[in-house]
Structure 1
Amino acid sequence: MVLLLGSQFMIAVDFSVLNVALPAIGRGLGFSQGGLQWISTAMMLPSAGFTLLFGRLADLAGRRRMLLAGMALLAVGSLAGGLAQGPGMMLAARAAQGLASALATPAALSLLTTALPEGPLRDRALALNGMLLSAGFTVGAIFGGVLTDLLSWRWAFLVNVPVAAAVLLAAPSVVAESRGARTRLDLPGAATVTGGLLALVYGVTSAGQRGWGDPSALAWLAGAAVLLAAFWRIELRAAAPLAPVRVLTRPSVMWGNLGGLATFSMESSLVFLLTLYMQQTLGYNPLQTGLAFCGLGVAAFGGGLAAPRLIVRFQARRVLVAGLLLQAVATAAMFWLGDGLNGGLAGGGALVLLLAATSAGALGHISAIVGYMVTATSGLPDEEQGLATGLASMTQQVGITLGTPVLSAVLAATTLHTALLTDAGVLLAAGAAVGLALRRA
């Protein structure tokens, strides 16, 4: 448990550890202002695109083997990032970290779900996993600020190397190998779903940078639609499908993952919006910005401890819906933050509201994470847990990747207040849809 959850936490930290350090990296390596976003996107793109494929491969080739391969690649990518001397090497290092995440995340999660029987024990493990995912994203922001201010952004990469090495040394003796039934890999399905997800993430990211009318971005999005439609048709006819349609259309899998997509996309974009707000409007430095997210991390820890008890008492679907609604209300409350143009709270009042709202939102966010993880992986046999956890992990990665460019486009076209209300509206709509659909099911 310690090793598997620790590896998940480390990968979650990597997704946000560079956010507050991007200006320093840009100055040190010669990135243009517009190119800074690709430092994050270079990791998110392969992570989102390959997670489903690697999750299924973990069922076939061995989950521990895939975890070890991911940790080895993470160590190599982190070392390359820490030693990077130019933009090309930095982006290659981040891409390696993204592939490592796609290898290790579904493998570690399916090792957890197959090691424990469905019920309270598994719910507790998934709650700890969700808590560490959320806390890792927050700790990454804090840690990145501390390292950038006190040492160098390079240490945000280099600290991964000994941790990954420790996992590689310890895992063979404390984690048993696990795999599902051996079948042939559905190569056409794997090619179309991976290509479709890569095109989707690249298209949305490009649209966030260049505008939603950009012909290149629209072409990528159209290609994604074609490839994902082809994937669906292939899975309907394949003798050994990569992702059986009966699993994809199972209400708990489909609606659970929709709830997960909403909570991850809106929370990651909210952290991005608030990072800009604190540095550009409140005038905070990277260290102060990171520390301002401490309340979010503490609340996520408390929510992770409480979520399994709530699931036992109220059922996972209700916890998922309640988490989405609480996250929506907390985000909407930040409408009263001053943006320097339209009044609102400023100074100490703005900070108090920000801390209170992000803490309440973190409670909702972690409850939604645990609720969707339990909902989306329940009722499936062990041989399909790699697929189920691959889908859940893919939802997490795609959500983290897509939310920021969409809300960035809203922010660029309107105001901070409109972007916050859009965030809250998406969560409210998702909570209502998931609640109604799962109640009928």
Structure 2
Amino acid sequence: MAIDTLAPTSTSPAVAAAPRFSRRDRLVLFVLCAAQFMVALDFSVLNVALPVLGPDLGMSQSALQWAVTAFALPSGGFLLLFGRVGDLFGRRRMFLGGLGLFAAASVLATFAWDPASFLAGRALQGIGAAAVVPTGMSLLTTTFAEGPRRDRALAVFGTLLSLGFTVGMVLGGVLTEAFGWRSTMGLLTLFALIVLPLAPGLLPESRTPRRPRLDVPGAVTVTGGLLALIYALSTAAERGFGGTDVVVTLVAGLGLLTAFVAVESRTAQPLISLAMLRRQTVAWGNLGGLVTFSMMTTVVFVLTLYLQETLHLSALATGLSFGLQGAVAAVTGTLVPKVIARIGAHRTLVVSLLWQGVVTATLVLLGTGGAWVWLAVPANAVIVVGHMGAIIAYGATATAGVTDAEQGLATGLVTSSQQLGITLGIPLLGVLATTSADLVTGVRTVIAVDAALVLAAALMIGAGLRTRKARAGRA
């Protein structure tokens, strides 16, 4: 693809004029974004309810991590497989099937009578989410053509994704305080039942023009590898990396993912096109997505611990403190497409990551006194300006110049970066907070590592895409 697709385009009449959506476009966008919002909500709405949920269902403190992990394992592990199945047999069909499963699983989780029934509901929610997320993104990028319309659609999509995670924190505290933990799962049921009747009549069917064979060896190795890796990191966040099960599954996960790369390099019809990953816009764009999601969810996680355990805020007050972040995200989401139109998606991605990294670094100053809430809460809100810019810009960067026939492959990578970032960030760095001598030291350590990784990624992406532009200019 030509690098021109990522260059500033403010002089183009097509960009200068605000893209207009028809009534049907708005309804399609509503359905796709509401489903994405619902899944993002599921990642966070239960967090502040866990201390109440455990005694009610008879779950021990050490077992509570599975309330989150039971959802995260299948939602991250099956993403690529279900995205590809949607490409082959119909993205709309897969989207509706996942949405129906998510609704039924949410009912089961709402009325769970013991730990086994609750965890089964959470796992089935994760499987449904793994079908909804990649097919929903593919339906969006095939419905809205590349350019201002897609940028605006991605802006709405990304804003609601960020809001879903943030609003989940707020609603989790409010609902648990007012109605108990079951109301958090009931809210997800309500969302699914609103979207499900609207989707069949609005969403067009979409699949690849020709139907290649499903890459079964690739599907088995990547799904098994991701499941093992997510299990290992999630368990390590609770018990450390010394356990035999953690070491075995970590080695198995890395081995399976290595085997997956080998399989994909040899198969004629791969689950992930390594040739597509060699496109620098795709590779660097997805790295930006993986970093912004993983590092921002980690910040939210450690700040939640810090506010409750160190500053002694209640679950309700902690949840409400994230409301400012949600408001900033909503405003930022409306402005980012204009920035992309002026300076290009790749530059917006780099600047946004730099912003996220620099503001995150200020949180290393946090101390034990109550006055530190005046740094923690505003900084958390300001970080989201960069985070929102990166969310929208990485999707635009990683799908630019990709044909409709390849959108399933490209958006499968985009959604995998998103979901894996959300899933892996907390286990990867959260263990530094939970295993430190004291919580404040652990939080500072996590924040320092988090900020360094974001800034390093920004510099690498900026250098990588500049190199590509220079090569294109010499061609």
Coarse TM-score class (shorter-chain normalised): over 0.9
- TM-score, scaled to structure 1: 0.96
| 2:235 maps to amino acid | S
Indicate whether 1:424 and 2:447 are aligned: no
Aligned residue in 2 for 1:243:
272
CA contact (8 A) 2:102 2:124 kept: yes
Report deviation, 1:212.
Answer: 2.3
Please name the residue that 2:400 is paired with.
Answer: 378
2:178 paired with 1:150? yes
SS of corresponding position for 1:283: coil
Instruction: Say whether residues 1:388 and 2:424 are aligned partners.
Output: no
The equivalent residue for 2:123 is: 95
Q: Deviations over 1:208-244 (max 9, x none)?
A: 2222233321221211222112111211221211112
Distance 1:335 1:101 in 2: 35
1:228 aligns with 257
Say whether 1:200 aligns with 2:232. no
In 2: Cα distance, 1:158 partner to 1:208 partner: 28
1:69 paired residue among 81, 97, 105 = 97
In structure 2, the partner of 1:55 is 83
- Quote the Cα distance in structure 1 between the aligned partners of 2:247 and 2:176: 37
Read off the aligned partner of 1:26 and give its amino acid letter.
Answer: G
The TM-score, its normalising length taken from structure 2, stands at: 0.89
- For residue 352 of structure 1, report the CA deviation from its aligned partner: 2.0
> In the alignment, what sits opposite 1:120?
148
Shift in Å, 1:47: 0.7
Question: Is 1:256–1:376's contact at 8 Å kept on the other side of the alignment?
Answer: yes
The answer to whether 1:294 aligns with 2:299 is no
Distance 1:438 1:65 in 2: 36
CA distance in 1, matches of 2:429, 2:146: 37
Which residue is equivalent to 1:304? Answer: 333
Quote how far apart the aligned CAs of 1:166 are. 2.7
CA-to-aligned-CA distance 1:356-388 (integer Å, 9 cap, x gap): 211110011111111111111111111221221
Structure 2 Cα separation of the partners of residues 295 and 243 of structure 1: 38
Q: Distance in 1 between matches of 2:212 and 2:445?
A: 50
**Partners of 2:307 and 2:373 within 8 A in 1:** no
**For the Cα contact (< 8 Å) 1:326–1:360, is it kept in 2?**
no
Matching residue of 2:241: 212
1-structure distance, mates of 2:280, 2:366? 38
Query: Counterpart in 1 of 2:187?
Result: 159
How big is each residue's C-alpha offset from its partner over 1:20-76, in whole Å with a ceiling of 9 and x where there is no partner?
101001111111111111111111111111111111111111111111111101111
Paired residue for 2:352, among 319, 323, 335?
323
The range that moved more, 240-249 or 114-123, is 240-249
2 CA distance for matches of 1:158 and 1:28? 16
What secondary structure does 2:241 align onto?
Answer: coil
Query: What are structure 2's unaligned runs of at least 5 residues?
Result: 1-28, 469-475
Letter aligned with residue 433 of structure 1: M
Superposed CA deviations along residues 227-271 of structure 1, whole A, max 9, x for unmatched, are 112111211221211112101222111111111111111111111
CA distance in 2, matches of 1:419, 1:159: 32
- Residue 138 of structure 2: aligned partner: 110
Q: Which stretch of structure 1 is more off in the superposition, 160-169 or 221-230?
A: 160-169
Indicate the RMSD between aligned Cα atoms, in angstroms: 1.3
Q: Pick from 48, 62, 68 the counterpart of residue 34 of structure 1.
A: 62
2:264–2:272 contact (8 Å) kept in structure 1:
yes
Alignment identity in percent? 49
CA contact (8 A) 1:54 1:390 kept: no
Distance 2:186 2:375 in 1: 35
Q: 1:96 & 1:113 partners in 2: Cα distance?
A: 27
In structure 2, the residue matched to 1:343 is none
**Which residue of 211, 215, 219 maps to 1:186?**
215
Trace 1:253-264 onto structure 2 (pairs within 5 A).
Answer: 253-264=282-293
Distance in 2 of aligned mates of 1:329 and 1:38: 33
- CA–CA distance in 2 between the matches of 1:352 and 1:388? 41
